Structure 1
Amino acid sequence: MYEKMTYESILQKMLNMVSDDVDKREGSIIYDALAPAAYFLADQFFQLDNFVDLLLPDTALGEYLDRAVGGYGITRKEASAAIRKVTTSASVPIGSRWSIEGLVYRITDQTAENEYEAECETAGKIGNTYSGPLEALTAVNGVTAELTDIITDGTDKETDEALRERFFEKVQQPATTGNAYQYRQWAMEVPGVGDAKVFPLDSGPGTVGILIVDSEYKINSSLESVVSEHIETVRPIGASVTVSSPVANTIAVSAKVLLDGTKTREEVLAAFKVNLEGYFKAITFKEYRVSYAKVGSLLLSTEGAQDYDGLTLKGTSGNITIGEKEIPVMGAVNLEEVRTLGLE
């Protein structure tokens, strides 16, 4: 908006307002007097340009984005703590604290003999990361403990882009009481939910089915009850709502790859897996076909891969259809390095 209000343009405009019979060359008294003011004004225009961006939802960041979307009833999803299973060699008190890799877990409930639920004191996905022997921070003598299964995933604080996307979805899509858009918005309000798909009349009149994936676009059954409980508090009376996870359509990928010499096979394989996972994430609940051509293009665009041959998806050389209640999940990925193509 103010990109033309540079130091040079402001200074020139100021100098143009001075009579031509006055020395206006660089180093003159009038030039040196106006230059600092021009610099200050240019900085103010720069700040003002950024300030405008912070006021608008499409460009606002951080707390400014929170305030921009707050007027529409949208709030950022806060980070949540992981709930993990802890097994011990003997009974331990509720509230005892245990550590692993710098993280602290507090025992919150006993589920069976020498089995407990523990909540990570650090919110976020970091609480899902580690497993193994725990070190007691509370005075517990002669007892060993191990951190095992994830009961409820920890989730990170919602990113600016995810929050912005929810905002535009709410203001651009006609959500009215009890329609499909609103059920999706209700599901998306729950921390940890990355996407949702609604099926009106899923099991007949008066029924609604909702499929959800987590923030990594993966199947996470621990979210189902949380989303269901939330929707029960906001939905209209009458509808029967079922929240579930989609079915995984596991896509195994195999190909012969000719390398260009800049990367090893293992490096190409790792990069290709990242690209492939990103593609599957992008089409979840949006497209219902894994494109053979697209996967080939991803492999060809992977750094270090010069060419490929014999590409198969689930053992076939063609597109893979994804059911309406399925999501594509990356299976085994095998890249066989070859010296030449078409001669093996």
Structure 2
Amino acid sequence: MASDFIVPEFLEDCDADTIHARMMDELPNDIDKTEGGFPWDFTRPTALIAAELLQFYIPEAIKLMFPQWSSGSFLDYLAAGSQTKRKASTYAEAVLTLTGEPGTIVPGGTVFATEAKNDQPSIEFAAVESCILNEEGKGTVLVRALLDGKQSNVNAGAIVLMSEPVEGIQTVTNKEKATGGTEEESDDDLRERILEADASEETSYIGNNADYKRWAKAVDGIGDAIVIPEWNGPETVKIVCLDQNGEGANKTLLDAVYNYIMAPDNPADRLAPPNTILTVAAPDLVNISYSFTVTVADGFELSTVISGFKKQLESYYKIVADEGAVKYIKVHALLTGTPGVEDFTDLLINGSTDNIRIENDEYPYTENVEAKGAE
């Protein structure tokens, strides 16, 4: 989140009335300076324009010069100066299970789809490679969404259609949820990575934990990463990765992280030190449900409070690996500070007030937030 901008002292007292009064003071004393007179009316527009320049345009220009307050394409320019860039959106993937006549060939590029329901359009996926049904008439094929973004992360059992039927195929389904579809990196997330890169510029050494974390988070679609050094002996490093939706990264994203850091096909581009044995894996997600009764402040909706609380949890989860637990007292503080929360009672985490232990290869995941308004 952008820091609060404090207007520099040299831009204080620059409103139109103050500027105009100074202009009138500079005129000779024998000139009529009363409001409505010709000198007053003639100089007033200049004071208004000067005030607009000093109170709006110059502060906005200053903001664009620093990552703490910049945004949009100007933030991209600052990212380039810090040897980073905004992460692009990514495409969801799923593994389809097919049944039909043995030996049936499903060519690469074959398009599958979800059903259109409740005014929601069908979402299409294309086969990444070809597939041949085995002697039992079964096969699997990896498919990738044709549209980027998280809207393609459809639930298990959602992909059941073929845009153009392939003779010999009888049923199609995805037994597990499609994952990996993420949105383009937000200004706030990019700003955080720029500041991290700038802070580590003088202290980073090739191959320390901060380096691996920064390298992993630079890959499109990756939201957070946990580094476990010497997890399987000397010179071994494990990076546990989540996507930008807070879910375990899929194989495509994990491979992208490995290839970015190790560059197996281009050794000159390798980031990791020599002899490093790198493992990149998804975490075991620890599902956590929260429940509470809340008094919602005027001007807020219960849904807004829940959304804000989930956002607070996402930020908190990034430091849980260092603490080894999702702590009740921390969650209590997060809910207290959530916009729209006037008061609350009966906060429970997985039905109790106990801390939730998180191991090195684990990561918390918000399965549900059940909140009801106080009567």
> Which range, TM-score by smaller chain?
0.7 to 0.9
Number of the residue aligned with 1:206: 235
What are structure 1's unaligned runs of at least 5 residues?
340-344
Number of the residue aligned with 2:281: 244
- Change in 2 beyond 3 A, CA 1:166/1:23: same
Which amino acid in the other structure matches residue 279 of structure 1? L
TM-score by length of 2: 0.73
Which amino acid in the other structure matches residue 105 of structure 1? F
**8 Å contact 1:177–1:236 — kept in the other structure?**
yes
Distance 2:296 2:259 in 1: 54
Distance 1:143 1:247 in 2: 34
The DSSP-based 3-state class of the residue aligned with 2:196 is helix
Number of the residue aligned with 2:38: 29
Give CA deviations for 1:261-287 in whole Å, capped at 9, x if unaligned: 99xxxx979956873674365134343
Number of the residue aligned with 1:192: 221
2-11 or 268-277, which moves further after superposition? 268-277
Which amino acid in the other structure matches residue 80 of structure 1? T
For the pair 1:18 / 2:27, whether they are aligned, the reply is: yes
- Quote the offset at 1:243 in angstroms: 1.5
**8 Å contact 1:84–1:150 — kept in the other structure?**
yes
Instruction: Note the 1:314-333 alignment, pairs <5 A.
Output: 314=350, 317-330=353-366
Distance 2:68 2:273 in 1: 32
- Change in 2 beyond 3 A, CA 1:64/1:146: farther
206-215 or 160-169, which moves further after superposition? 206-215
Residue of structure 2 aligned with 1:105, choices 125, 143, 157: 125
- Quote the offset at 1:6 in angstroms: 2.1
Distance 1:170 1:306 in 2: 38
Distance 1:155 1:282 in 2: 20
Over the residues paired in the alignment, what is the CA RMSD in angstroms? 3.9
- Quote the offset at 1:246 in angstroms: 2.8
**8 Å contact 2:180–2:243 — kept in the other structure?**
no
Number of the residue aligned with 1:95: 109
- Quote the offset at 1:225 in angstroms: 2.5
- Change in 2 beyond 3 A, CA 1:15/1:295: same
- Quote the offset at 1:32 in angstroms: 1.4
Distance 1:332 1:54 in 2: 38
Number of the residue aligned with 1:342: none
Instruction: Note the 1:65-144 alignment, pairs <5 A.
Output: 65-86=75-96, 93-97=107-111, 101=121, 103-113=123-133, 115-129=140-154, 131-134=158-161, 136=163
- Quote the offset at 1:184 in angstroms: 1.0
Distance 2:262 2:314 in 1: 31
Number of the residue aligned with 2:316: 282
- Change in 2 beyond 3 A, CA 1:129/1:8: farther
What are structure 2's unaligned runs of at least 5 residues?
1-7, 115-120, 134-138, 264-270
Identical aligned pairs, as a percentage?
26
The DSSP-based 3-state class of the residue aligned with 1:118 is strand
- Change in 2 beyond 3 A, CA 1:334/1:63: closer
Give CA deviations for 1:155-201 in whole Å, capped at 9, x if unaligned: 11111111111111111122221122111111111112111121222
**8 Å contact 1:246–1:327 — kept in the other structure?**
yes
Distance 1:72 1:301 in 2: 32
Distance 2:92 2:237 in 1: 29
**8 Å contact 1:133–1:144 — kept in the other structure?**
no
- Change in 2 beyond 3 A, CA 1:43/1:333: closer
The DSSP-based 3-state class of the residue aligned with 2:128 is strand
Give CA deviations for 1:71-112 in whole Å, capped at 9, x if unaligned: 121111111222344566775554355665154434432244
125-134 or 181-190, which moves further after superposition? 125-134
- Change in 2 beyond 3 A, CA 1:63/1:199: same
